[in-house]
């Protein structure tokens, strides 16, 4: 999303800083683009709600007909409270669900991600349909920390143990109706094509499978020079693979994908204020200290991820600036080197001054949802939705200190 200088100033005046802002038009446009993913025999678009689980965003996607992929029991509960039918919610969790009987009893789809999960599901629901997540042995990601496939990833049932999964399913009379994979974040169509073929090879060994999910990880370009996923190009290749599989086997498979970043990343920004400017001498760095940092946008500190940063200022000499957050933490850096959170990478921008409004872009995904909540006792920032008419609606208020302390004992 883009914010004019006037809009950014207005956000600060009305809601204070730091403050997340999301754009309805951008969210709807991304959803409609994803709904156009090429497919041959039916298609379901699931939003990976971990990217941004704000109720306003969930309800927006619900109204557009999207389904959800939840990563935890609390996310399932949040999805149901947002009004999603249970049958439109799939639980794909790293750990066994503590509410398995309740959720599946209500109609939530369960995706078994380990042999233990599959066995537990079978003992609880013998004879019921099940979906399994398989690690196909291939991963792709902008960093090792976003790679969710291959031998270094704990996600899913390792492909070499497929026969063990089939044995468990047979023991509990579980038809394996769905096969799910997710390899990480990537934009290379060749990787996605390879994954599709690997998955279809696995499907050949699972005769009851009718639905295949290729997961998400559709990379977006937050800053110039980053490669964005062409979902039409990827989808067209996947569609061809599914058609070829149908011709070979007679099985017409339904396709699912579950993007998160693709749907929300560039529909959000953080409006912040420059609260101090310091330097470390002529051979050092010029630092702009913001009131937003790792407590709002953790990705740079965690991955060396890149976010666009705009100083809202009139014409002013430019300078090479390292942007940092307010936390008493040397890693609270918003401008690390790409993929290396321990190296600084100054940005050339109008030289910041104390009091400037600064906008951190690409903050719709894995920012509010993945913040280092309450570190240094900073409150959770508010979230605002810009409606189609340009009006701003508060969709989460700023946390108070009393709310932070509410669960603590005397």
Tell me the catalytic residues. 328
How does DSSP assign 272-300, residue by residue?
A: EEEEEEEE--TTS-EEEEES-STTT--HH
Q: How many CB atoms lie under 10 A from the CB of residue 406? A: 8
C-alpha atoms less than 13 angstroms from C-alpha of 305 in its C-beta half-sphere: 29
Listed residue (4, 10, 6, 5) closest to 384, CA to CA: 10
Q: Residue 107: which residues within 8 A CB-CB, separation 6 or more?
A: 85, 86, 87
Spell out the residues 6+ positions from residue 252 whose beta carbon is closer than 8 angstroms to its own.
40, 41, 42, 242, 246
Give the three-class secondary structure for 229. Answer: coil
Q: Determine the Cα–Cα distance for residues 85 and 274; give it in Å rounded to an integer.
A: 44
Q: Which of 366, 380, 324 is nearest to 143 (CA)?
A: 366
DSSP 324-357: E-SSS-TT-BSSEETTEEEEE--EEEEPP-TT-E
364 near 220, Cβ under 8 Å? no
CA distance 236 to 240: 6
CB contact set of 376 (below 8 Å; sequence gap of 6+): 295, 326, 327, 328, 329
DSSP state of 184: B
Task: Say if strands 286-290 and 176-180 run parallel, antiparallel, or are unpaired.
Answer: unpaired
Helix (H) or strand (E) holding 194: helix 189-203
Cα separation, 38 vs 240, in Å, equals: 9
């Amino acid at each position: 999303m883009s914010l004019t200088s006037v809009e950014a100033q207005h956000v600060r005046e009305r809601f204070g800083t730091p403050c997340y802002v999301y754009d309805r038009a951008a969210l709807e446009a991304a959803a409609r683009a994803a709904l156009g993913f090429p497919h041959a025999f039916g298609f379901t678009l699931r939003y990976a709600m971990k990217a941004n689980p704000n109720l306003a965003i969930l309800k927006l996607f619900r109204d557009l007909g999207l389904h959800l992929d939840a990563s935890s029991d609390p996310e399932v509960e949040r999805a149901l409270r947002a009004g999603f039918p249970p049958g439109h919610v799939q639980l794909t969790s790293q750990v066994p669900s503590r509410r398995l009987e309740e959720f599946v009893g209500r109609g939530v789809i369960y995706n078994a991600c380990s042999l233990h999960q599959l066995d537990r599901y079978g003992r609880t629901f013998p004879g019921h349909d099940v979906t399994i997540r398989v690690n196909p042995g291939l991963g792709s990601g902008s960093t090792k920390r976003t790679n969710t496939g291959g031998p270094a990833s704990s996600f899913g049932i390792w492909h070499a143990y497929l026969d063990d999964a089939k044995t468990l399913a047979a023991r509990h009379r579980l038809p394996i109706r769905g096969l799910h994979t997710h390899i990480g974040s990537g934009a290379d169509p060749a990787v996605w094509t390879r994954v599709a073929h690997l998955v279809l090879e696995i499907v050949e060994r699972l005769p009851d499978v009718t639905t295949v999910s290729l997961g998400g990880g559709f990379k977006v370009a937050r800053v110039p020079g980053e490669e964005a996923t062409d979902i039409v190009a990827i989808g067209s290749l996947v569609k061809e693979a599914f058609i070829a599989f149908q011709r070979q086997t007679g099985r017409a498979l339904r396709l699912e994908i579950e993007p998160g970043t693709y749907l929300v990343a560039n529909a959000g920004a953080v409006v912040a204020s420059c609260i101090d400017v310091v330097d470390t001498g002529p051979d050092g760095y010029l630092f702009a200290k913001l009131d937003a940092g790792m407590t709002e946008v953790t990705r740079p500190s965690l991955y060396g991820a890149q976010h666009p940063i705009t100083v809202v200022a009139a014409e002013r000499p430019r300078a090479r600036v390292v942007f940092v957050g307010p936390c008493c933490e040397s890693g609270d850096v918003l401008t690390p080197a790409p993929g290396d959170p321990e190296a600084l990478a100054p940005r050339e921008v109008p030289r910041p001054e104390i009091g400037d409004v600064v906008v951190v872009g690409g903050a719709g995904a894995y920012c509010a949802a993945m913040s280092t909540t309450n570190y240094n006792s900073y409150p959770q920032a508010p979230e605002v939705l810009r409606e189609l008419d340009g009006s701003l609606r508060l969709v989460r208020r700023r946390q108070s200190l009393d709310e932070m302390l509410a669960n603590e004992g005397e």
